[in-house]
Amino acid sequence: MTWPDFIVIVLCILIGIAEAQRGFVVAFLDMLGVLLTVEIAPAVYLNLTASGTLSPCTAYLICIGVGTAITATATTLLKRQTQFDIGSFDSSLGGLFGIVVALILSHAMYGAVVLAYGMGSYVYARSAFAGQIYELRAVHGFLGFMGKIGTTEIAK
């Protein structure tokens, strides 16, 4: 395990607890905002590096930080103005979606590690979670399995 792996564990615990206190609706909106931020950041950070003053890793982290701050501010203001509660599962679903938010942010962190050190670096290559969080190996394996259903001899 390398230092990004420990950050993933801490992020999952802290954001999961925070979102459990905030509730499901806010956690869901946070997840959407952070997901949108992580999807937009690769296109935006290249514009920041065009001048040559920022490294790609720094520009990428700035984009992620600004997007996450905007999302957190918007959901905090929304939470203060309205009261959302879906019942007895509000906290548990909020915590679950908080862990998803932490995993999305961890994906962005591993992207920054790749930009800074490369995929062949010790930090990335020896990471316990990088293959699952950044490369999404389990997701790709599951989708590959689902694509083969109906085409094997067992299924016929």
Burial environment of residue 148 by CB neighbours within 10 A (0 to 12, 13 to 18, 19 or more): exposed
What pLDDT score does 139 carry? 82
**How far apart, in whole angstroms, are the C-alpha atoms of residue 121 and residue 103?**
21
Q: What DSSP element (H or E) covers 74?
A: helix 56-81
What pLDDT score does 102 carry? 95
φ, ψ for residue 15 (rounded to 5)?
A: -70, -35
Kindly provide the b/e burial profile for residues 37-71, where b requires at least 16 CB atoms within 10 angstroms of the residue's own CB: bbeebeebbeebbeeeeeeebbbbbebbeebbeeb
**How far apart, in whole angstroms, are the C-alpha atoms of residue 14 and residue 20?**
10
pLDDT digits (tens, 9 = 90+) for 14-67: 999 999 999 899 999 999 999 999 999 988 888 888 877 888 999 999 999 999
Conformation bin of residue 83: beta by default, left when phi > 0, alpha when psi is -120 to 50: beta
What pLDDT score does 154 carry? 56
| pLDDT over threshold 60, residue 156 | no
Q: What is the mean pLDDT of the chain?
A: 89
What pLDDT score does 150 carry? 67
pTM of the model: 0.85
| pLDDT over threshold 90, residue 85 | no
The pLDDT confidence band at residue 153, using thresholds 50, 70 and 90, is low
- Cα end-to-end span (Å), the chain: 43
Mean pLDDT throughout 136-155? 75
**How far apart, in whole angstroms, are the C-alpha atoms of residue 76 and residue 50?**
34
Between 38 and 139, the higher pLDDT residue: 38
pLDDT digits (tens, 9 = 90+) for 107-126: 999 999 999 998 888 999 89
What pLDDT score does 46 carry? 85
